[in-house]
Homo-oligomer: A and B are copies of this chain.
């Protein structure tokens, strides 16, 4: 099957390029590398999804699009693939990484289908699996996996989308009837933007403040039927429709209000907090705040999935735009008759190729995240002791990569649209749909700015632990200054070493392509931003500035530090991946891709490196010139680099790049 798949996906796409060089890798080799640990599964599932019937939806009403997407969801369920991430004891495949990998395949095919699948199997099913116990798993997992029981994940409220710890829905235990009473006390407590709620969901995992015997134990999840067998709203449940959205109109987002809705006590998803038959609350985690964040931590898969799916859809947009630029001609040079290909223009290369390189970089970071997530979740499954440091690092990385990756997705797809001109604006050419569908990825599963802040706070905590178990505010103390000067010395060393090699333009350009130099710059920037952040916090704290005011004053700094950390991780992962590649042709091409990625990022933030004496003006100019040079060098291989994404031809329906 694999040969067949690769033959049909990857063949025939090279006609617009120069004759393949003997030293060039073929798209298959790179495609297998990109597939990573779950390469076989990805290819197998891709084959299954290719057999689904995707009707054109571009001019359908919202109601029609929802019906189409529901039909596709049921076809996906019929493949059995959604079982892959669930507990084998209940008919699942027990493979967490695989469950994200199949979502990434769906994202290449249809983002409404991917999001509805994510709601059903990732959020709804995932919450039952992670927060429930045998009494829920035994009853609900099978119909959920089969999509016979469609459900919602009802966390976000109208008044609380980011600060979900402060949701206002309550679930109050009534010992008289052994029930939980789920209630929305005011309009701001309305559950909002809930996928599957407007039409198809029968049940919802509702997050509510759990109140037992007059005392609140913080947010817990409760299974609440929201519709009866006939699809009518259940008693006490008011459902409304979010209506038309910018995109993803195949997903029925809605709103839920609960008026004293009663469910049995055992509807509580009770892995991290339970009420026993006597009506007593108990939890393995004493702090209600820590308990809630532990629950959220088990749901990390959703965030990882969103990042991976945004990346997959971005690769599709890049495939279209690069192929268009490789066939579309406009303007002739003075004195020549034939018009030039768009991709031969340096400005066009600048628009697409650094974004293409960054997509490669983010992909390898995502694959590593997936492998690590899989390991940690699997360790939990088999009852190993939780490695809290690894767990927190995973959450920090997932939050950071989700933010940085979905911003990249939005920016890249917008650039692809513009690169394809008026053709890019037509629905038939797919990019506009990708753009409007992807737009909300920067918001859902955590607004990017909030996530990046969380990642930054995670780094500060880690930093504190390295320095010693001090108070987070007072963590810097005398030690910090010492570290700061060490960093300065290290950097100065790197700079000087580089500077020595600089003489003429050629050696300056060559020097920018030293991965050790790039990694040192990235690492130093991340360190330095974190150290100075900690120092500012400490200084303000010593002056008696309130924590709120400190947070405000350092918010932009915190975001920069978090972003610098993510960039460091991405580059380090890319370099490590390249080091593991044995095929010299693949390796050599990826080295150029990695250079373009790293130098584009250095260029983007050149002012920081210059301000802080990390680069000279001449180096900064050399970086810019190297980006131009790398664009020109990679231009002949741009088609190969998108072919290697291996997106099936039938999912690239855009007439502007139609084959044959």
Contacts and interface: CB of A to CB of B under 8 A. Distances in A.
Interface stretch (A374-382, A389-397, A549-557, A590-598): A549-557
Contact of A425 (B58, B432, B439, B556): B439
Contact of A422 (B332, B417, B440): B440
Contacts of A448: 418
A467 interface: no
Given A447-B421, A548-B333, A62 B59 contact: yes
Given A442-B418, A620-B611, A244 B58 contact: yes
Interface residues of A, number: 81
Interface string A77-114: 00000000000000000000000000000000000000
A163 interface: yes
Contact of A552 (B339, B345, B559, B603): B345
Nearest to A60: B61
B243 A330 contact: no
A59 B243 contact: yes
A161 interface: yes
Contacts of A555: 345-347
Instruction: Please state the number of chain copies in the assembly.
Output: 2
Between A159, A426, A549, A551, the greatest number of chain B beta carbons within 10 A of the residue's beta carbon is seen for A426
Contact of A246 (B331, B436, B447): B436
A336 B548 contact: yes
B156 A244 contact: no
Interface string A127-161: 00000000000000000000000000000100111
A607 interface: yes
A428 B192 CA distance: 14
Contact of A610 (B193, B410, B620): B620
Contacts of A427: 243-246
Interface string A153-182: 000100111110010000000000000000
A621 interface: yes
Interface string A594-621: 0000000001001100111100010011
A67 to B, nearest CB: 14
Interface string A331-361: 1111110011000111110110000000000
A368 interface: no
A552 B421 contact: no
Nearest to A427: B244
Contact of A432 (B159, B246, B351): B246
Contacts of A612: 617
A628 interface: yes
A435 B613 contact: no
A199 to B, nearest CB: 14
Given A418-B442, A422-B161, A556-B347, A243 B428 contact: yes
Contacts of A62: 59
A14 interface: no
Between A418, A424, A621, the greatest number of chain B beta carbons within 10 A of the residue's beta carbon is seen for A418
B613 A607 contact: no
A330 B59 contact: no
B58 A347 contact: no
A163 B347 contact: no
Given A335-B546, A555-B345, A612-B617, A425 B449 contact: no
A2 B417 CA distance: 42
A34 to B, nearest CB: 28
Contacts of A436: 246, 432, 436
A333 B555 CA distance: 12
A484 interface: no
A547 interface: yes
A494 interface: no
A608 B299 CA distance: 44
A611 B611 CA distance: 10
A610 B607 CA distance: 7
Closest 8 CB pairs of A and B: A333-B548, A246-B432, A606-B607, A244-B427, A610-B610, A611-B617, A334-B547, A193-B422
26 contacts: A161-B421, A161-B422, A192-B422, A242-B426, A243-B426, A244-B428, A246-B426, A246-B433, A333-B546, A333-B548, A334-B547, A334-B548, A334-B551, A335-B548, A336-B548, A345-B552, A346-B555, A347-B449, A410-B414, A414-B414, A418-B442, A418-B447, A603-B607, A610-B617, A611-B620, A612-B617
